[in-house]
Amino acid sequence: MAAEVLDKHVEGGRQKSALPIGVDTLTECSFRFKVVWRPIDDPPGCRTFAALLPILNSDLFVAELTLNENFREFHTEHPEIERLTRGHELCHWRVHA
């Protein structure tokens, strides 16, 4: 499924993707996720970086990707983790939606 996303949405596709892949553009433009920062309460012993919920009856967005406000500073210091988190949620969308 990841290869299909690359082929359809990333210049160069799976063979010659320009790196780094613009995961922000993928999630916000290609897949039409509304990205917001909000606190997410973690279960004890867990770190929840994000959540993805479908948005029904919207012409603009298909889902809301909520990034956990409690980890905003961490994501700012480690942008690769935010990129990974967005990609992880995109994978959930492709697999489950």
- 57-70 pLDDT, tens per residue? 999 999 999 999 99
Average pLDDT over the chain, rounded to whole?
92
Distances (CA, A) of 76 to 70, 94, 96: 12, 26, 29
Terminal C-alpha separation, the chain: 13
Cβ neighbours of 48 (radius 10 Å) = 14
Within-domain flag for 65 = yes
Count of structural domains within the chain = 1
CA–centroid distance for 60 within its chain? 17
Within-domain flag for 11 = no
Q: Tokens for 72?
A: 């905003």
Within-domain flag for 18 = no
Domain hosting residue 60, numbered range = 23-96
Within-domain flag for 3 = no
Distance CA 62, CA 70 (A): 24
Q: What is the pTM of this model?
A: 0.86
Within-domain flag for 2 = no
Within-domain flag for 28 = yes
Within-domain flag for 10 = no
pLDDT of residue 63: 97
Q: Per-residue pLDDT averaged across 36-58, rounded? A: 94
